[in-house]
Amino acid sequence: MSRLRAALDPKSIAIIGASDNPNKIGGRPVAFLGKFGFRGKIYPINPTRPEIQGHKSYASLADLPEAPEMAIVAVAGDNAITTVEECAAAGVKVALVMASGFGEVDPHEGKAKERRMVEAARRAGMRIVGPNCQGLANFGSGAVASFSTMFVDMERSQNPGHVAMLSQSGALSTVPVGFLRERGIGVRHSHATGNDSDVSVGELACAVAEDPEVKLMLLYLESIPDRRYLEELSSIALDRDLPIIALKSGRTAAGQQAAQSHTGALANEDRVVDAFLAHHGIWRAPDMRGLVEATELYLKGWKPRGRRLVAISNSGAVCVMTADAASSVGMPMAKLAPETDSKLKTILPSFATTTNPIDLTAALLSNSRLFGDILPVLAQDPAADAFLIGVPVAGPGYDVEAFSRDAAAFAEQTGKPLVVSATQPSVAREFSARGTTVFPTEVEAVTALNQFIHHRELMETTRQRRAARGTSYPLLQKPAQTTMLNEADSLALLASRGIPVVPHRLCLSRNEAIAAFTAIGGPVVVKGCSADIAHKSELGLVKLGVSSADAAGELFSEMEAIIRREGARFDGVVVAAMAKGRREMMIGAHRDPVFGPVIVVGDGGKYVELLRDTQLLLPPFVDADIREGLHKLRIAPLFTGVRGEAPMDIAALVNTVKLIAELMRDEAAGVLSIDLNPVMLNSEGEGCMVVDAVVFRSG
Site residues for a second copy, 579-598, by CB under 8 A, read none
Site residues for a second copy, 22-61, by CB under 8 A, read 23
Residue 163 as a binder of a second copy (CB under 8 A): the answer is: no
Contact 364, 398 (CB under 8 A): yes
Given 157, 159, 328, 342, the residue binding a second copy (CB under 8 A): 328
For residues 219 and 247, give the distance between their C-alpha atoms in angstroms, rounded to a whole number.
6
For residues 651 and 632, give the distance between their C-alpha atoms in angstroms, rounded to a whole number.
16
Q: How far is the CB of 468 from a second copy (least distance, A)?
A: 32
Residue 175 as a binder of a second copy (CB under 8 A): the answer is: yes
Residue 72 as a binder of a second copy (CB under 8 A): the answer is: no
Quick one: which segment of 66-74, 172-180, 646-654, 659-667 binds a second copy (CB under 8 A)? 172-180
- Dihedral-angle region of residue 174 (phi above 0 means left; psi in -120 to 50 means alpha; beta otherwise): alpha
Q: Can you point out the beta strands (E) in 114-229? A: 127-129, 135-138, 143-146, 163-167, 187-192, 216-221
Residue 220 as a binder of a second copy (CB under 8 A): the answer is: yes
Site residues for a second copy, 657-676, by CB under 8 A, read none
Residue 637 as a binder of a second copy (CB under 8 A): the answer is: yes
Of 265, 234, 302, 257, give the one whose Cα is nearest residue 103: 265
Residue 646 as a binder of a second copy (CB under 8 A): the answer is: no
Given 67, 89, 124, 258, the residue binding a second copy (CB under 8 A): 258
Residue 200 as a binder of a second copy (CB under 8 A): the answer is: no
Site residues for a second copy, 596-625, by CB under 8 A, read 606-607, 610-611
The sign one gets for the Cα dihedral 323, 326, 328, 334 is negative
Given 19, 190, 314, 682, the residue binding a second copy (CB under 8 A): 314
Given 46, 53, 295, 315, the residue binding a second copy (CB under 8 A): 315
Of 217, 188, 194, 222, give the one whose Cα is nearest residue 205: 217
Given 59, 62, 112, 253, the residue binding a second copy (CB under 8 A): 253
Q: Report the amino acid identity of residue 440.
A: P
The three-state DSSP-derived secondary structure of 585-645 is: EEEEEEEECCCEEEEEEEECCCCHHHHCCEEEECCCCCHHHHHHHHHCCCCHHHHCCCCCC
Given 254, 467, 480, 668, the residue binding a second copy (CB under 8 A): 254
Residue 353 as a binder of a second copy (CB under 8 A): the answer is: yes
Q: By C-beta, is 112 or 152 nearer to a second copy?
A: 152
Sequence-distant contacts of 412-415: CB under 8 A, at least 24 apart: 413/376, 413/379, 414/379, 414/384, 414/387, 415/302, 415/303
Residue 294 as a binder of a second copy (CB under 8 A): the answer is: no
Given 128, 216, 297, 318, the residue binding a second copy (CB under 8 A): 318
Q: How far is the CB of 262 from a second copy (least distance, A)?
A: 3
Q: By C-beta, is 273 or 488 nearer to a second copy?
A: 273
Residue 425 as a binder of a second copy (CB under 8 A): the answer is: yes
Residue 155 as a binder of a second copy (CB under 8 A): the answer is: no
Residue 369 as a binder of a second copy (CB under 8 A): the answer is: no
Given 59, 62, 112, 171, the residue binding a second copy (CB under 8 A): 171
For residues 268 and 246, give the distance between their C-alpha atoms in angstroms, rounded to a whole number.
15
Quick one: which segment of 43-51, 284-292, 339-347, 500-508 binds a second copy (CB under 8 A)? 284-292
Distance of CA 277 to the CA centre of its chain: 3
Q: How far is the CB of 183 from a second copy (least distance, A)?
A: 12
Residue 482 as a binder of a second copy (CB under 8 A): the answer is: no
Contact 104, 195 (CB under 8 A): yes
Q: How far is CA 323 from CA 14, 141, 306, 335, 388, in A?
A: 57, 45, 16, 12, 10
Of the CA atoms within 13 Å of residue 403, those in its CB half-sphere come to 30
Q: Can you point out the beta strands (E) in 241-322? A: 244-248, 283-284, 309-313
Binding mask 490-509 for a second copy (x = CB under 8 A): --------------------
